[in-house]
Amino acid sequence: MKKITNIMLTCMICMQMIGCNNQNSNLNDKLIDNKKSLINSFASDNFTIKSVDYSEAFNGIEGCAIFLNNNKKEYQVYNEEACKKEVSPCSTFKIISTLIGLKKGILTSTETKMNYNGTKYPIDDWNRDLNLKEAFQASCIWYFRSVIDKVGQDSMQEEINKIHYGNCDISEWRGRSINSFPELNGFWLESSLKISPKEQVKILSNIFDGKTDFSNENIEILKEIMLVDKINNVFVYGKTGTGGEDNAWFVGMIEKGDEKYSFAVHLNKGKGNEISGQKAKEIAFKIINQYYK
C-alpha cells in the first residue's frame, strides 16, 4: 500500500512539473508576442498619429503609406492597419545588408566590386562584374547574396536583432527557391524574414538619426547609393522591393534642411501587373511632391 501511495505521489508531482513547464512555455510565448506587439504598435512610441488621405495617389490600388517625422514625433498614416502588417522586405533589405556589409568590412566603399560568375541572368545589368553602387541601383540579388554569405548567419542574426528588424527570423537562410538560381534566393525574399511598413520607417529613422551603431561614414555611403531625387534643398533617398502579386515596396528618407521624414509605401493589391516596386515608387513620389516638398 505504501509503495502504491509513493507511486501515486510521484505521478502527481510529475504532472505538476509538466503543468508548470507548459505554463512557463505559454508565458514565454505570451511575452514574445507582447514584445512583438509593442514594437509594432503605434502607441508604444508615444508619438502623434495623424490619419491622412492619400487615396488619390493610390488611384484604386490597395496599400498603405506611412511617413515619420522624429523631430515632431508624428506619424502620418494612410491605412493604419495595413501599415502594421508584416510581409517580406524583398529588395528593401539591401539597405540593411549594405550597412552590415560596410560595418563588417566586406564592403569598403561604393566601388567595392563583386565578380560575376558567368551565369546568364534574366536582367542584363546583372551579367557583369558590379560595384556596390551599381549593384544597389540595379537591385542585383546575386551581389547582395554574396555580401550576406560573407557576413554569415550568426553575425547577420546578431545585427538584425540589435535593430529589431521585423520578426528577426532568418532561419530560412537559403530562402524558399522562388527563383531558379540558388544565388537569387534568401531569407529576405518571400521567405522567413518579415517586417511591417511601420517597423521599416522606425528603423530607417533610427539609422538616419544616428541612433544605431552604424557609423556616420557608412551611413553617408548608404545615402550616396540611395539618392533617387534632388530638387533645390530637398533630397529623396529610397529603395524599391518587389515580391509576389501582393507585395511591393518603396521605402526611404526625405531630407529637407533640418527636417527628416522616413517613409514606406507598400502595395498589396492592384489590377493586372500594377503591383511592383516601381509602381510603389511612383505613388510615393506623387505623395512626396504634393505634401513634402
Q: Which residues are catalytic?
A: 91
Q: Are 174 and 182 contacting, i.e. CB atoms less than 8 angstroms apart?
A: yes
> How far is Cα 184 from Cα 29, in angstroms, rounded to an integer?
33
CA nearest to 156, candidates 174, 141, 136: 174
> How far is Cα 189 from Cα 176, in angstroms, rounded to an integer?
8
Hey, what's the torsion of the CAs at 30, 192, 80, 241, to 10 degrees?
A: 160
3-state secondary structure of 12: helix
Please, where are the H alpha helices in 129-213? 132-137, 141-151, 153-162, 197-208
> How far is Cα 167 from Cα 143, in angstroms, rounded to an integer?
24
> How far is Cα 79 from Cα 55, in angstroms, rounded to an integer?
9
Residue that is written with C-alpha cell 551599381 in the block: 134
CA nearest to 193, candidates 161, 177, 169, 159: 169
3-state secondary structure of 74: strand
CA nearest to 188, candidates 75, 100, 278, 122: 100
> How far is Cα 134 from Cα 112, in angstroms, rounded to an integer?
10
β-bridge partners, 62: 269
Q: Are 201 and 68 contacting, i.e. CB atoms less than 8 angstroms apart?
A: yes
Element of type H or E holding 287:
helix 277-291
